[in-house]
Structure 1
């Protein structure tokens, strides 16, 4: 329910949108103002203005209205940056082979598969390989490589003994030419 003084305040605020002639007429008709105080009209309704953000826009104590999807804000509350928690970070390894020239390039403990493959290819090429291809990329595992008469076997497993056993079984040999384990690293 609006009181008479509230109606008057709302009327004064509504007059701000009127043209100069309409404003003078409106004020004279209501006997609210004379010629001397119309210049103060914008201040007449200052007490009736509410500073609110539009629906769906959050202020959360901030002097500016923020859209609901603003970065760093969640339901009107600033989101604190979470401290980096310690975690296991995967590591990658790769083997690149030039089967025609018997050249091998390897990589271990790389942060990404692409980095491991690049490093293995570079190693194979530096050793003289002309037709190097990534034979195997692996993450957080062990690998073994064994050469047969005119072929090679690269195998990956959870531990070095198992990887070597698989590679040797495929080649019919008793020793591997390369083995490596890549384990995740603890990040603080």
Structure 2
């Protein structure tokens, strides 16, 4: 029995020595160094130990912001809009262009918004623009502003969203 135990111990130590020699010879972790006829060769073993294996997780998604804007010419009742622009300045330019193309003369930016929604609320005595995360919230905000000003016939005239876009 002692001879059998001693033989098993020698086999285990020999295997450990092969893996240690393989790593010192430049073999990949888990490979075995085989020496035959004076030539050393790295042979695939069982692969790297579990603690050395790396899990390759995909990179987190990347998002690009999107902008929108509203421009108006109040005396002429013209509303210019833009959505899904790459920058605030691009959104404002597009809204101003839209306002002028619809007959606006004194167009001005009412509100730019980013990665969200906008509501343009009108009443018998004026208007307001509100932005928020959803159309419902932007509309509620606009209606609240309209009603708290004591205006009559408040209603949401225009809504839109410019949501971020996943690019990777």
TM-score by length of 2: 0.59
Q: Does 1:180 pair with 2:155?
A: no
Q: Does 1:156 pair with 2:144?
A: no
Q: Which has the higher strand share?
A: 2
CA contact (8 A) 2:116 2:161 kept: yes
In structure 1, the residue matched to 2:98 is 123
Question: 2-side partners of 1:174 and 1:132: how far apart?
Answer: 23
* Higher alpha-carbon Rg: 1
Q: Does 1:102 pair with 2:102?
A: no
TM-score by length of 1: 0.53
How large is the Cα RMSD of the aligned pairs? 1.7
Give the total of aligned pairs. Answer: 105
In structure 1, the residue matched to 2:107 is 132
Shift of 1:171: 2.5
Q: Where do 4+ consecutive residues of structure 1 move more than 2 Å?
A: 169-175
SS state of the match for residue 118, structure 1? helix
Structure 2 segments unaligned to the other structure (5+ residues): 1-58, 148-152
Structure 1 segments unaligned to the other structure (5+ residues): 1-83
Shift of 1:146: 1.1
CA contact (8 A) 1:99 1:151 kept: no
